[in-house]
Structure 1
Amino acid sequence: MKRILAKISLFFLTLVLFTSCNAVKRLEPGESLLTENDIFLNGERINENRIYNQLYQKPNSRLLGVPLQLHFYNLARPNIDSILSEKFLQNDQKRERLIILLSRKQLDSYIKSRITFNQWIKRTGEAPVIINQEDTQKSMNRLKSWYWNNGWFNVETDYEIIPLKKKENKARIEYYVETKTPYKVDSISTDIDSRVLDSIYKKHQNDAVIIPGTQYRTLDFNAERDRLTSLFRNNGVYNFDQEYITFDADTINTDFKVNTTIIIPNRQVPDEDSTYRVPFKVHEISKVNVFTDYKQSNRYEPVTDSAQLGNFTIYSFDEMEYKPEAIIDAVFIRPGRTFSDIARTRTYNRLNSLRNFKYPNIQYTQDPEDTTSTDLIANIFLTPQPKYSLGFDFDVSQSNIQKFGIGFGGSLLIRNIFGGAENLELSGRGSVGSSTDAAASKDDDRFFDISEIGADLQLIFPRIFLPFETERFIPKYMSPFTSLSLGVSTQNNIGLDKQNLSSILNYRWTPSRLLTNRLDLINLQYVRNLNTDNYFNVYQNSYSELNNIVQSANVVTNPAFLNNNGRLIIPRGAEGFIESVNSNDNATSGLTPGQRQNVINIRERKNRLTENNLILASNYTYLWNTKDNLYDEEFTRFRFKIEIAGNTLFAISELANFEENLSGNQEIWGVAFSQYVKPEFDFIKHWDLGSNNIFAFRAFTGIAIPYGNANSIPFTRSFFAGGPNDNRAWQAYDLGPGSSGGRNEFNEANMKLAFNLEYRYNLFGALNSAFFVDIGNIWNVLDIVEDEASTFTSFSDLKDIAVGSGIGLRYDFNFFVLRFDVGFKTYDPAKPTGDRWFKEYNFNHAVYNVGINYPF
Structure 2
Amino acid sequence: MKKRTIHIIIAWVTVCLLAACSSTRKLPPGEALYTGADVKIEGPSLGHKEKKNIKNELEALTRPLPNKKILGVPFKLLMYNLAGNPKKEKSIMGWLKYKVGEPPVLASDVNIEWNVKVLQSTMENRGYFKAAVQGDSILKNKKAKVVYAVQTGNRYAINKIMFDKDSSVLQKTINASSAKTLLKTGSYFDLETIKAERERIDADLKEKGFYYFDPDYLIIRADSTIGNNAVDLDVKIKPGTPQMARQVYTINDVYIFPGYRLSAEKADTLKSDAEYYKGYYVVDKRKTYKPQMFAQSMQFNPGDVYNRTDHNQSISRLVNLGVFKFVKNRFEPVKNSDSAQLNTYYYLTSLPRKSLRADINANTKSNNLTGSGITIGWRNRNTFRGGELLSVNATAGFEIQFSGQLKGFNTYRGGLETKLTFPRFLIPFVSLNTRSGFVPKTNMLLAYDILTKEKLYTMNSFRGEFGYAWKETVNKEHQLNPISINYVQPIRVTPLYESNAFNNPTLQKAIEKQFIIGSNYNYNYNELTGNNGLKGFYFNGNADLSGNIAGLITGANTLNGKPKTIFGAQFSQYVKLETDLRYYVKLSSKNTWANRLIVGFGYPYGNSTELPFIKQFFVGGNNSIRAFRSRSLGPGTYKDMNTVNFIPDQSGDIKLEFNTELRAKLFSIVHGAIFADAGNIWLYRGNTDKPGGKFSSSFMKELGVGTGVGLRFDVSFLVLRLDVAFPLRKPWLPEPERWVIDGIKFGSGAWRRDNLVFNLGIGYPF
Map of 2:715 onto structure 1 = 813
Map of 2:655 onto structure 1 = 752
Map of 1:306 onto structure 2 = 274
Secondary structure in 2 aligned to 1:465?
A: coil
Query: Relative to structure 1, is the Cα distance of residues 201 and 502 closer, same or farther in structure 2, using a 3 angstrom cutoff?
Result: same
Map of 1:523 onto structure 2 = 484
23-32 or 384-393: bigger deviation: 23-32
Q: Does 1:640 align with 2:574?
A: no
Deviations 1:371-411 (A, max 9, x none): 34x11111111111111011112223334788343322211
Map of 2:512 onto structure 1 = 611
Map of 1:553 onto structure 2 = none
Q: CA deviation at 1:434?
A: 3.3
CA distance in 1, matches of 2:636, 2:116: 57
* Paired residues for 1:378-777 under 5 Å: 378-399=344-365, 403-434=369-400, 450-469=411-430, 471=432, 474-475=434-435, 477-493=437-453, 496-532=457-493, 537=497, 571=499, 575=502, 578=503, 602-603=504-505, 605-628=506-529, 634-646=534-546, 649-657=547-555, 664-740=562-638, 745-765=648-668, 767-777=669-679
Deviations 1:406-464 (A, max 9, x none): 3222111111111111111111111244367999997x9xxxx6422211111111111
Query: Relative to structure 1, is the Cα distance of residues 657 and 807 closer, same or farther in structure 2, using a 3 angstrom cutoff?
Result: closer
Secondary structure in 2 aligned to 1:368?
A: coil
Query: Relative to structure 1, is the Cα distance of residues 133 and 230 closer, same or farther in structure 2, using a 3 angstrom cutoff?
Result: same
Deviations 1:297-328 (A, max 9, x none): 45468689531124321112x41111111123
Q: CA deviation at 1:849?
A: 2.3
Give the letter aligned to residue 307 of structure 1. Answer: E
CA distance in 2, matches of 1:477, 1:278: 28
Do the aligned residues in 2 keep the contact of 1:42 with 1:176 (CA within 8 Å)?
A: no
Give the letter aligned to residue 392 of structure 1. Answer: A
487-496 or 399-408: bigger deviation: 399-408
TM-score by length of 2: 0.82
CA distance in 2, matches of 1:426, 1:722: 33
Secondary structure in 2 aligned to 1:78?
A: helix
Map of 2:684 onto structure 1 = 782
Query: Relative to structure 1, is the Cα distance of residues 626 and 660 closer, same or farther in structure 2, using a 3 angstrom cutoff?
Result: closer
Give the letter aligned to residue 94 of structure 2. Answer: I
Do the aligned residues in 2 keep the contact of 1:190 with 1:262 (CA within 8 Å)?
A: yes
1:320 to 272, 283, 287: 287
2:696 to 769, 784, 793: 793
Give the letter aligned to residue 173 of structure 2. Answer: I
Q: CA deviation at 1:283?
A: 1.1
Do the aligned residues in 2 keep the contact of 1:39 with 1:45 (CA within 8 Å)?
A: no
CA distance in 2, matches of 1:753, 1:480: 33
CA distance in 2, matches of 1:702, 1:416: 39
Secondary structure in 2 aligned to 1:382?
A: strand
Do the aligned residues in 2 keep the contact of 1:72 with 1:121 (CA within 8 Å)?
A: no
Q: CA deviation at 1:352?
A: 0.5
Do the aligned residues in 2 keep the contact of 1:162 with 1:174 (CA within 8 Å)?
A: no
Q: CA deviation at 1:278?
A: 6.9
Q: CA deviation at 1:78?
A: 1.0
Secondary structure in 2 aligned to 1:704?
A: strand
Q: How many aligned positions are there?
A: 731
Deviations 1:747-805 (A, max 9, x none): 3323333333333333333x322122122222204234465644442256246341212
Give the letter aligned to residue 313 of structure 1. Answer: Y
Deviations 1:575-632 (A, max 9, x none): 3xx4xxxxxxxxxxxxxxxxxxxxxxx43x3443332222233332222224457x97
* Paired residues for 1:43-442 under 5 Å: 44=48, 52=56, 55-56=59-60, 66-67=71-72, 70=73, 72-73=75-76, 76-78=79-81, 80-82=83-85, 112-122=91-101, 180=154, 183-191=156-164, 195-265=168-238, 268-269=241-242, 280-299=246-265, 306-316=274-284, 318-372=285-339, 374-399=340-365, 403-434=369-400
Deviations 1:782-829 (A, max 9, x none): 234465644442256246341212131x33323222222232434444
CA distance in 1, matches of 2:236, 2:470: 41
Query: Relative to structure 1, is the Cα distance of residues 477 and 694 closer, same or farther in structure 2, using a 3 angstrom cutoff?
Result: closer
Give the letter aligned to residue 839 of structure 1. Answer: G
Map of 1:28 onto structure 2 = 24
Deviations 1:606-660 (A, max 9, x none): 443332222233332222224457x9754524223131322xx333333345696
CA distance in 2, matches of 1:50, 1:681: 44
Larger radius of gyration: 1
Map of 2:29 onto structure 1 = none
Do the aligned residues in 2 keep the contact of 1:388 with 1:415 (CA within 8 Å)?
A: yes
Give the letter aligned to residue 741 of structure 2. Answer: W
Q: CA deviation at 1:209?
A: 2.6
Do the aligned residues in 2 keep the contact of 1:192 with 1:262 (CA within 8 Å)?
A: no
Deviations 1:825-846 (A, max 9, x none): 3444455535511634636543
CA distance in 1, matches of 2:704, 2:595: 17
CA distance in 1, matches of 2:346, 2:253: 11
CA distance in 2, matches of 1:827, 1:32: 54
Deviations 1:171-221 (A, max 9, x none): 9999988775x5443432223767121222233333333233445444433
Do the aligned residues in 2 keep the contact of 1:659 with 1:668 (CA within 8 Å)?
A: no
Deviations 1:7-28 (A, max 9, x none): xxxxxx9999667522424432
- Identity, % of aligned positions: 21
Do the aligned residues in 1 keep the contact of 2:480 with 2:522 (CA within 8 Å)?
A: yes
326-335 or 234-243: bigger deviation: 326-335
Deviations 1:701-746 (A, max 9, x none): 3232323332212222222223222233333223444444575612
Do the aligned residues in 2 keep the contact of 1:283 with 1:376 (CA within 8 Å)?
A: yes
Query: Relative to structure 1, is the Cα distance of residues 36 and 208 closer, same or farther in structure 2, using a 3 angstrom cutoff?
Result: closer
